[in-house]
A and B are shown apart, each in its own frame.
Chain A
């Protein structure tokens, strides 16, 4: 009987996971991949396979200073799998691995089976999890890798520990910030276990790996120019219900408070959880994407909170049932809203069509100017150079590109506009509705929009409901 029950539980988890993770792609109206990452990593893996280590497209030419982990894994799969399979299906396998690892980690810490099970449900239904695993993106591989590393590290088995050291060595190749995260988490664990010696080992390994991964770049190019723009952490992006790209559900946060309340009954016994939470809250100010990993802790805490609410003695059974239903509806509502938001991510069909048109128009590798969030799509789909994209690390003259872009967007002075388009050899200007409605401009006929309509040097060569492409006659 127990076997059937646990078997049913696993089946239930699998069904929910498949349903939740496949939905964004299934309900997506555009025949395109979700987000810019799939296109970006496809392009990078192509470059690696051709041994090209200078990127002519991004910022109209830059050193290949991207992290190698994600594109190499993409390249590995592309040897024997079609691209669409890698982008849409492979993340599901990584999701499954992550769930298993998360389960095993919780089990290592003697988390009660029911809490463990609910933690997995909370995790599956959480917006960050949906974001990571519904399409191939920069978090898809590193997330299970981090979980695996931490799991092997906490196991009381020397061989597994040694494997974890190897993984600690690999992590920086996916991004230095993940090494920092892994180090901080293991530090807390080592303090708890009173085993700081092991921490020093992985600290050494990580430093060595970071040196190997980043020192050549630093020697060649110096330190990366830090972006003087886009710095303010948008607090709205931390909550999916408030429009955050991969933020946490507000209902999970509320449930987590109940979980914390339960833990607090034992006062400082679970100090590690509080330490991790504080650490994440601080880290999120510097690396907002860490919200994705905070989500794992909150999944556990919210499950704990839910079980605590279910088990605690209620004076009113009606209120108990109603509250539980409300929480479930709230969680499902957050999940459904996020799925529909994810499915509507760029590139839309209109943008894709416009970029395909651009690909077949003019000479290859001409420069296209647009908002930097479209930069990777311009490179990957239109096969044209961009002025700027959102890969800021080691981007050449990053702040100058940004300032010039802003000036060009907002100037009504033709001479200023002309100087900038000449400086960057800009041949095309891509304007989307999203840019017109707040991403760049707030008002009709503001800045460049006015020039495009009133100066005859700019000729509109393509338009649809969402996108306009203007060519600059020279």
Chain B
């Protein structure tokens, strides 16, 4: 029995969805601190029927400049049980369908497109950033790919309409719309250098999309731009954290997360599409890759996000290489082994993408312990109190304990991020009780949270001055109350 391509695509989709749901339901908590930021915004919308513009808990109270259409959309499904576990998984799994459609357009070959979709189903870095998480990128990346798909098929009315609608929606979801408009510029430049004709119609639509996204971004971030100017690109990240934040992964780890196949197939696909065939779709995707590399090089994109985008785009371009392998084999005496080629590629994907993805998913952080502690804090501490936790779990604290933090990873427009970062480090690291108390009083901190995660992060056995019972009372094995 021969399966239809659409059936195989559905099977791939279900396979990746099952994979994601399995890991999502194997732990109670989400696997990233950032998920809890989105979790709070979504819950706020569900309760108040309005987006959150001011956060009373983050940094002891700060304004939120974050487009919240994504959160509104997820809030619409709040009537479904476990919707925050299920829907992000469905959205992330939809990547395979979009990748298949673009690959089909590039290759006009079902087998190559399906293999590309299978490759897209298990990208280790994508798994790391989306499994068991409420991740904006698992929504944004398929959306950007749909925009590319529309741009490739612009002659068709439905794609044209979809492009207009998504051009409007994308900037309302995330600043990644800037990546898209930059890629349009690169596409324009690349097409000119390669003497590739872009139809007037396409140029017009690109221009419209460019101005629309630019304007909406300016409207949303007006206050931020006026306050920080172009520095907003670096998101007010504390200087000391900046180098760490953008630290270079070692090459082997980067290859492991990206997957060997997208790098090899993708690079060869670029070579073929750009220099041999002058394929319009490949030029568009190459522009997206170049944009990502450019934004990475000037450190606008952090390494995780940059690698994620890069890998997804390389996966799509890989379709051309895969189809060329089949075309080449058809011209040789190995034609009779063609069916084995598919098997080899599937095995390669399993070995080099699926298995690493499985281990990546297995090693995702588990915050169940912190969740229980923060629930205890929620029930046993004063409502207005400030709790000191490292910024890496600041969002979990505000979401679960519903208490103020000193800092979290929402640096944009936050107050004195550098000073706060130094002060938090000082409290956990210093020998001096006086210095620590000075810093703690500055933020009106009532409780200090110290668990194994914190000890491991600061490489300490315990806070050095915490034994002073006149000043610090252990109210739970990982929570200390400041009493002096």
State the A residues within 8 Å of B (CB): 234-237, 239, 241-244, 250, 254, 313-316, 319-320, 322-323, 326-327, 329-330, 333, 337, 341, 442-444
Contacts and interface: CB of A to CB of B under 8 A. Distances in A.
Given A254-B211, A333-B215, A319 B229 contact: no
Contacts of B229: 234, 236-237, 242-244
A241 B214 CA distance: 11
A236 B231 contact: yes
A333 B442 CA distance: 40
Contact of A316 (B201, B225, B228, B231): B201
Nearest to A240: B226
Given A241-B225, A443-B419, 15 more contacts: A234-B229, A236-B229, A241-B218, A242-B230, A243-B225, A243-B228, A313-B200, A319-B205, A319-B208, A322-B164, A323-B207, A326-B215, A337-B222, A442-B419, A444-B416
A443 B416 CA distance: 6
Interface centre among A236, A237, A314 (most CB of B within 10 A): A236
A322 B416 contact: no
Given A235-B230, A243-B227, A314 B204 contact: yes
Contacts of B231: 236
A316 B215 contact: no
B204 A319 contact: yes
B219 interface: yes
Contacts of B214: 250, 330
B416 A316 contact: no
B3 to A, nearest CB: 40
A322 B211 CA distance: 10
Interface in B226-264: 226-231
Nearest to A446: B419
Contacts of B215: 326, 329-330, 333
Nearest to A309: B207
A326 B208 contact: yes
Give the 7 A-B residue pairs with the shortest CB-CB distance, closest first.
Answer: A236-B229, A315-B201, A443-B419, A243-B229, A242-B229, A326-B211, A243-B226
A333 B218 contact: yes
Nearest to B415: A437
A316 B211 contact: no
A239 B225 CA distance: 10
B49 to A, nearest CB: 28
Contacts of B416: 442-444
Interface centre among A235, A320, A326 (most CB of B within 10 A): A326
A242 B227 CA distance: 8
Contacts of A241: 218, 225
A327 B208 CA distance: 9
Given A241-B218, A326-B212, A329-B215, A315 B226 contact: no
A239 B214 CA distance: 14
B218 A323 contact: no
Interface residues of B, number: 26
B230 to A, nearest CB: 5
Interface centre among A313, A315, A333 (most CB of B within 10 A): A315
Interface string B177-213: 0000000000000000000000111001101100110
Contacts, number: 68
Nearest to A326: B211
A337 B219 CA distance: 10
A234 B200 CA distance: 38
Contacts of A444: 416, 419, 442
Nearest to A236: B229
B462 interface: no
A444 to B, nearest CB: 7
Contacts of B204: 314-316, 319-320, 323
B109 interface: no
30 contacts: A235-B230, A239-B230, A241-B225, A242-B226, A242-B229, A243-B229, A314-B204, A315-B201, A315-B204, A316-B201, A316-B204, A316-B205, A322-B164, A323-B204, A323-B208, A326-B208, A326-B215, A327-B211, A329-B215, A330-B211, A330-B214, A330-B215, A330-B218, A442-B416, A442-B418, A443-B416, A443-B418, A444-B416, A444-B419, A444-B442
A305 to B, nearest CB: 12
Contacts of A329: 215
A337 B226 contact: yes
Contacts of A236: 229-231
A333 B204 CA distance: 22
Nearest to B224: A243
A235 B199 CA distance: 35
Contacts of A443: 416, 418-419
A265 to B, nearest CB: 15
A236 B212 CA distance: 22
B211 A341 contact: no
B163 to A, nearest CB: 10
A284 to B, nearest CB: 16
Contact of B219 (A237, A242, A314, A333): A333
Interface centre among A239, A322, A329 (most CB of B within 10 A): A322
A315 B442 CA distance: 62
A315 B202 CA distance: 9
Nearest to B227: A243
B208 A341 contact: no
Contacts of A323: 204, 207-208, 211
A313 B201 CA distance: 10
Contacts of B442: 444
Interface in B403-457: 416, 418-419, 442
Contacts of A242: 225-226, 229-230
A202 B222 CA distance: 45
Contacts of B419: 442-444
A315 B208 contact: no
A219 B212 CA distance: 58
A311 to B, nearest CB: 14
A373 B227 CA distance: 18
A179 to B, nearest CB: 31
A393 B333 CA distance: 83
A130 B214 CA distance: 23
Contacts of A237: 229
Contacts of B200: 313-315
A193 B459 CA distance: 75
A225 B378 CA distance: 62
Contacts of B207: 323
Contacts of B205: 316, 319
A306 to B, nearest CB: 12
Nearest to B417: A442
